[in-house]
């Protein structure tokens, strides 16, 4: 599918990844409509409002009337709107089920009725849960063992979406690594960004599970993968799941902290490692499929994301990094 005169609906376009994606799509010649209920405000979209080809629907993906309006004339959907993250889903379980399951299923059903040809879903590498072999890697063929409501809902919607795959409705699941990096809507409840902010502000940093592995990917790379999945030949992507990230960008938390301290060495005494067994997620992910099949390679590293945030906070570009709008909790 190519941009041409095509209209893509981005759900959750005012969010951390969505607001980066909207810009890339507009730059690439797509007409973009986004539906968002603005849980964290709409500032992230303000610079797009005057751009030709951009439309905004303030609405809820759980509401059929809002969806009808949002889907009218759409050729494709990139579905990002959700209650995002394990802590938020644990705190608001009913809203998480309503949004991530019921809202997503309604969107999918109405997208088919509206004649949408491609449906891309933002899933997560959290679907893999804890690794069976601590020294190994998981890939798209590995079993999914979600250990949180958030991941369980993602796994369920993946199944819902990939099963009825049809020639005229190509569905794709993108299992995003944990995001880092700048966005018009910064998020400081994500590991790299949170650790960087806290050390820039000179706060004490308590780290647990420092040996656990997780994959990370920059917002601009995640968004670029969504554009690739949108523009790829349907035969390459339909009915498939792709991990999105880079195999070289799996890190243990301790290494992340060292990368930050290389840039802020005076903060070393602020870091303390503690024993806690709260977060059972431990996974190292292989990203060969997206690399070989869609020629995707991450352009930015975690070190780039750290440097960006240090500069953005120290220069005052992000004025109040502790603003509640910048966290999903």
Residues of this chain that bind ligand NAD (CB under 6 A): 12, 14-18, 35-40, 60-62, 80-82, 84, 99, 103, 122, 124, 176, 178-179, 185, 187, 190, 328
Closer CB to ligand NAD, residue 61 or residue 312?
61
DSSP annotation string for 121-171: EEEEGGGG-B-SSTTS-B-TTSPP---SHHHHHHHHHHHHHHTT-BTTBEE
Closer CB to ligand NAD, residue 129 or residue 267?
129
Report in angstroms how near the CB of residue 281 gets to ligand NAD at its nearest.
12
Closer CB to ligand NAD, residue 35 or residue 238?
35
| Beta strands, E only, 64-141 | 76-79, 118-124
Report in angstroms how near the CB of residue 20 gets to ligand NAD at its nearest.
8
Report in angstroms how near the CB of residue 9 gets to ligand NAD at its nearest.
11
Report in angstroms how near the CB of residue 268 gets to ligand NAD at its nearest.
27
**Contact between 219 and 181 (Cβ < 8 Å):** yes
Report in angstroms how near the CB of residue 122 gets to ligand NAD at its nearest.
4
Closest Cα to residue 33, out of 17, 49, 47, 16?
49
Closer CB to ligand NAD, residue 251 or residue 267?
251
Report in angstroms how near the CB of residue 36 gets to ligand NAD at its nearest.
4
Q: Using CB positions, name the residue nearest to ligand NAD.
A: 15
**Contact between 183 and 222 (Cβ < 8 Å):** no
Widest CA span of the chain, in angstroms?
58
Closer CB to ligand NAD, residue 12 or residue 321?
12
**Contact between 126 and 243 (Cβ < 8 Å):** no
- How far, in Å, CA of 85 to CA of 40, rounded? 15
Which pair of structure tokens corresponds to residue 224? Answer: 């670029």
Closest Cα to residue 81, out of 67, 93, 91?
67
- How far, in Å, CA of 265 to CA of 271, rounded? 11
Q: Count of CB atoms within 10 A of residue 228's CB?
A: 21
Closer CB to ligand NAD, residue 186 or residue 313?
186
- How far, in Å, CA of 111 to CA of 29, rounded? 22
Torsion 315-41-22-181 (CA) sign? positive
Closer CB to ligand NAD, residue 270 or residue 325?
325
**Contact between 252 and 284 (Cβ < 8 Å):** no
SS3 270: helix
Closer CB to ligand NAD, residue 21 or residue 232?
21
Closer CB to ligand NAD, residue 241 or residue 267?
241
The answer for 134, left when phi > 0, alpha when psi is -120 to 50, beta otherwise, is: alpha
Report in angstroms how near the CB of residue 45 gets to ligand NAD at its nearest.
9
Report in angstroms how near the CB of residue 225 gets to ligand NAD at its nearest.
11
Report in angstroms how near the CB of residue 316 gets to ligand NAD at its nearest.
22
């Amino acid at each position: 599918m190519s941009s041409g005169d095509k209209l893509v609906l981005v759900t959750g376009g005012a969010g951390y990844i969505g607001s980066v994606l909207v810009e890339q799509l507009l730059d690439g010649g797509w007409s973009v409509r986004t539906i968002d209920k603005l849980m964290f405000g709409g500032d992230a979209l303000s610079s797009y409002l005057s751009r030709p080809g951009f439309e905004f629907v303030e609405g809820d993906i759980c509401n059929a009337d809002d969806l009808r309006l949002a889907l009218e004339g759409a050729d494709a959907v990139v579905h990002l709107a959700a209650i995002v993250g394990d802590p938020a889903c644990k705190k608001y379980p009913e809203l998480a089920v309503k949004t991530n399951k019921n809202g997503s299923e309604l969107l999918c059903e109405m997208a088919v009725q509206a004649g949408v040809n491609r449906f891309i879903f933002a899933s997560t590498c959290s679907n893999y849960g804890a690794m069976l072999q601590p020294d190994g890697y998981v890939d798209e063929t590995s079993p999914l063992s979600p250990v949180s409501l958030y991941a369980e809902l993602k796994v369920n919607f993946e199944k819902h979406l990939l099963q009825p795959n049809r020639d005229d409705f190509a569905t794709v699941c993108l299992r995003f690594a944990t995001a880092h990096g700048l966005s018009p809507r910064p998020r400081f409840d994500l590991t790299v960004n949170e650790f960087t902010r806290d050390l820039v502000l000179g706060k004490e940093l308590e780290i647990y599970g420092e040996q656990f592995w997780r994959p990370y990917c920059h917002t601009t790379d995640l968004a670029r993968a969504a554009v690739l999945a949108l523009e790829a030949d349907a035969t390459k992507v339909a009915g498939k799941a792709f991990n999105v990230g880079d195999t070289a960008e799996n890190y243990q938390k301790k290494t992340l902290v060292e990368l930050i301290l290389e840039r802020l060495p005076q903060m070393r005494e602020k870091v303390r490692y503690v024993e806690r067994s709260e977060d059972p997620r431990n996974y190292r992910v292989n990203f060969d499929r997206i690399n070989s099949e869609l020629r995707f390679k991450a352009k930015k590293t975690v070190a780039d994301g750290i440097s960006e945030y240090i500069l953005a906070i120290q220069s005052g570009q992000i004025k109040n990094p502790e603003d509640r709008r910048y966290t999903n909790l």
